Structure 1
Amino acid sequence: MGTISHRDVLVLPLHGAPAVASEADLQTRHAISAVLDELLRDGQARDRIRTDVNSTDIIVAGALLAQSLSNLPEHEALARRCAQIFIDGLRPTRTRLTGEQVTRQHLEDAWKERS
């Protein structure tokens, strides 16, 4: 329930809103990342999730999927389809993701610089 009540400080900064830097909000963001990282490590240890994915990848993808694109018809149906593509992309593969891996700390540091 804490995540639902804090959704504005968890997702809106990823869409460009100022990040709220209260201690409670910071702890909530870190707690969510920690739980996701634990789930990912478990899936990676079982060879169910690719090893080059972290919690920030999941959080950013979720924020992108939550962003409504006004010119697209049936946004919810399209977002669900994109979510399926994303989830399938988490499966182990021989190819490596390109670009530098972004961490929770990268996001927090960037938000501090902007505020």
Structure 2
Amino acid sequence: MDLQTKKILDFQLIQSNEVKGSTHMELEGLKRALGFLKDYVNIKEVVTDIHSSIKKYMRNSEGDIKHLFDVWHVAKGVSKKLEAAAKKRGGKDIRPWIKSIVNHIYWISSSCGMMGI
């Protein structure tokens, strides 16, 4: 999405039979979109979920593009880890803080002026 015009610049639809399996669809869609968009715009930043193959691809193949993570996925991941820790022996004191910690993650993201973390 172009942040100034608020318009979607490209959309890729990948079927699982086009790639090795469903886990490879997200990465293939990103590769195709970047390949298409690079012919028309200068890409400075990309915001994605926290997908391990995408992290590796961006680090190794697209090092000139800043890669950020979607704050919703970051907050969800932290929340799940805190919930798991709260269920463990001696972790009951964590649970009352989970909502505040997740809200703080959103506040950090919004106050620093970035879409992702």
TM-score (norm 1): 0.29
Quick check: which one's helix share is greater?
1
Q: Which has the higher contact order (CA 8 A, sep 6+)?
A: 1
Larger radius of gyration: 2
More strand by share: 2
